[in-house]
Amino acid sequence: MVQLTINGKKIKAAKGETILKAARDNGIHIPTLCSNDAVEPYGSCRLCVVEITSGAMTSIETSCTYPVAEGMDVSTDSPAVMKARKAVLELLLARCPNVKIIKELAAEYGIEKPGDHLFMENEYCILCGLCVRGCHEIVQAGAISYSGNGKNKKVEAPFGEEAESCIGCGSCAFVCPTGIIKVRDVAKATENMPGGEVEIGTERVIDNWNRNLKMQTCKISGNPIAPEYMLKRFQQTMLLSPQFFNISMGRREPLTVDEDLCVGCGSCLEECPVGAMRLIVNDKNEIRNNIMSNHCCGCQTCTIYCVRSAIKVPAMA
Ligand code: FES
């Protein structure tokens, strides 16, 4: 652990963690746009800047990338910090004058209107790169990337064409701070075939990456679950029951355990994707598996791992 000061408050933080995390853990607010705990920090938006004094040195740094150090003195709202943050917001507002979060932050810092320099009327992407990092680091699809330079820099699919490795998970839209990435599920999608237009059922559409993906439907209800391509990819990489991929969660029933067969080995515990398993001691003082029915998603993955076939699947209606 290291000891440091943030805004005059003495705090302790784990060695190697960022100033942003240390501040948040101690209830100190620092504004951010490009930071998300799920991906590695990159420091692209520069909104999280803080002033650091270490010995005789003072500098302005991005708190989402800068690690804490012993004796460090940090200010999150000094005049130098406010000036730097204001400059960042002026540029962001000039680039994306219609983005709600940018307008709100700008107003908070007293910026009333965007400057003339670099003004872009219809831009909604702040180039924070969260979507790119999420797609590469979390999903490992690598479907999108930056292209161009300067004012022409943008995030897009390779060569601006269809992002063929996009699995349609929508992580990019989920992490985007401006909401410019849209994921649409279209109920009656059509496709042009030699004989004319045919209806192909439900489709997930991500216009930003020119991507259209056919949806897999629930084997019981017939309702769309998720893109077929995405489920196929997960099926190849995870040892989960087929139920997990072809029956929607709401249509699966919780499982039960046959206590006479269960030996309480716990092999199902680690593999349950929703943590619905626990071991209990029953009336006969035996250790047995117990499924928490309010947690169980009915995917039947535990049945793959139960060496005694003690987990019982309810009959499908
Ligand atoms: S949040 Fe730190 S640079 Fe964007």
Taken in order of first residue, the domains within the chain and their CATH numbers are: 1-119 (3.10.20.740), 130-217 (3.30.70), 249-312 (3.30.70.20)
Choosing from 19, 44, 89, 105 the residue with most ligand 1 atoms within 8 A of its CB, the one to mutate for a pocket test is 44
DSSP H helices, the chain, are 19-25, 79-95, 100-108, 130-133, 171-175, 228-237, 243-246, 267-271, 301-305
CA separation, residue 142 to residues 134, 146, 172, 214 (Å): 9, 11, 11, 20
Q: Which amino acid is at 13?
A: A
The more confident residue out of 242 and 129 is 129
Report the Cα–Cα distance between both ends of the chain, in Å, rounded. Answer: 56
Q: Model confidence at 277, in pLDDT bands (50, 70, 90)?
A: confident
Answer positive or negative: Cα dihedral of 277, 281, 287, 288.
negative
Name the 3-class secondary structure at 152: helix
pLDDT digits (tens, 9 = 90+) for 198-255: 777 799 999 999 999 999 998 888 889 899 999 998 888 877 778 788 888 778 778 8
Least confident range from 105-114, 145-154, 187-196: namely 187-196
Whether the per-residue pLDDT at 316 is higher than 70: the answer is no
Whether the per-residue pLDDT at 197 is higher than 80: the answer is no
Q: Which of 124, 166, 123 is nearest to 144 (CA)?
A: 166
Whether the per-residue pLDDT at 46 is higher than 60: the answer is yes
The more confident residue out of 276 and 172 is 172
CA separation, residue 279 to residues 263, 264, 291 (Å): 10, 7, 9
Whether the per-residue pLDDT at 317 is higher than 60: the answer is no
Name the 3-class secondary structure at 119: coil
Q: Which atom of ligand 1 is nearest to the CA of 31?
A: 1
The more confident residue out of 12 and 244 is 12
Kindly state if the Cβ of 289 falls inside 6 Å of ligand 1. Answer: no
The answer to whether the CB of 251 falls within 8 A of the CB of 220 is yes
Residue 178 CA to ligand 1 centre (angstroms): 14
Full-model pTM? 0.79
Q: Which pLDDT value is given to residue 120? A: 79
For 16, other C-beta atoms within 10 Å of its C-beta total: 9
